[in-house]
Amino acid sequence: MEPVTAFILAGGKSSRMGADKAFLLVEGQTLLERALETAWAVAKDVRVVGPARKFASFALVVEDVYPGRGPLGGIHAALLSTATQFNLILAVDVPFVQPEFLRYLIAEAAASEAPVTLCENGGRLHPLSAIYRSSFAQVAGRSLEAGRNKIDTLFSEAGARIISETEMSRAGFSPHLLDNVNTPAELEAARESAEALTMSESQNTRQSYKAGLSKI
């Protein structure tokens, strides 16, 4: 697998949530802890993009060069600080992204010459669970200098490897891996999904154990 630096974008305002999303709990872990754990599984260098005063105790922190400019500002700052060609950008509020899926993204990025590799499902792009080449920093910087904060338009300008929902499914990944939590209702739904998944895994483990005993 290509060397990758991972960046957790955690500097958002969380205005729709009404509380800092990074420190909300799902299955006894904060969203930040879940994201860091997932990122460490695929990268030796993991950093948080956000205010140092909040996140310096968790990992190396990168602060925006253009504060208050949304995700594009965070991506730009991350890519300016990287020493690797391939870089994982992962939002703090996607609690179900798994290391296996990220390894798939990295492999797809390495097989393409596009500056960005990301997924699309339901007619929506997911730029905050994506792999960026360091060269995209120049594209992001020019856009920010021009006062343009929207990131989706840059993919058509710079070029991107867009993985369809069909491709994700064919590779064995559900598009729901990319679901994020922006509101209290979405957070509660994520907690219920996580609890149901844990119960299902426990049941499967018990069934496998019983099947093993029956063979003794």
- Does residue 38 register a pLDDT over 70? yes
- Does residue 166 register a pLDDT over 50? yes
216 found inside a domain: no
Question: 45, 84 in Cβ contact below 8 A?
Answer: yes
- Classify residue 23 as exposed, middle or buried by CB count within 10 Å of its CB (0-12, 13-18, 19+): middle
The parent domain of residue 56 ranges over 4-180
Q: What's the CATH number where 46 sits?
A: 3.90.550.10
Average pLDDT for residues 31-41, to the nearest whole number? Answer: 97
Q: What is the dihedral of CA 184, 76, 139, 13, to 10 degrees?
A: 30
211 found inside a domain: no
Beta strands 116-121 and 29-30: pairing type? unpaired
Q: Indicate the DSSP class of residue 23.
A: G
Specify the pLDDT at position 174: 93
144 found inside a domain: yes
* Among 71-75, 96-100, 130-134, 187-191, the least confident range: 187-191
pLDDT more than 70, % of the chain: 90
- Does residue 204 register a pLDDT over 50? no
Query: Could you give the number of structural domains in the chain?
Result: 1
Specify the pLDDT at position 198: 61
Average pLDDT for residues 174-178, to the nearest whole number? Answer: 92
104 found inside a domain: yes
> Which two structure tokens, joined as six digits, stand for 16?
């729709």
195 found inside a domain: no
Specify the pLDDT at position 18: 72
79 found inside a domain: yes
93 found inside a domain: yes
What's the chain's average pLDDT? 89
Average pLDDT for residues 27-34, to the nearest whole number? Answer: 95
Q: Could you write out the three-class secondary structure of 120-177?
A: EECCEEEEEEEEEECCHHHHHHHHHHCCCCCCHHHHHHHCCEEECHHHHHHCCCCHHH
108 found inside a domain: yes
Specify the pLDDT at position 195: 79
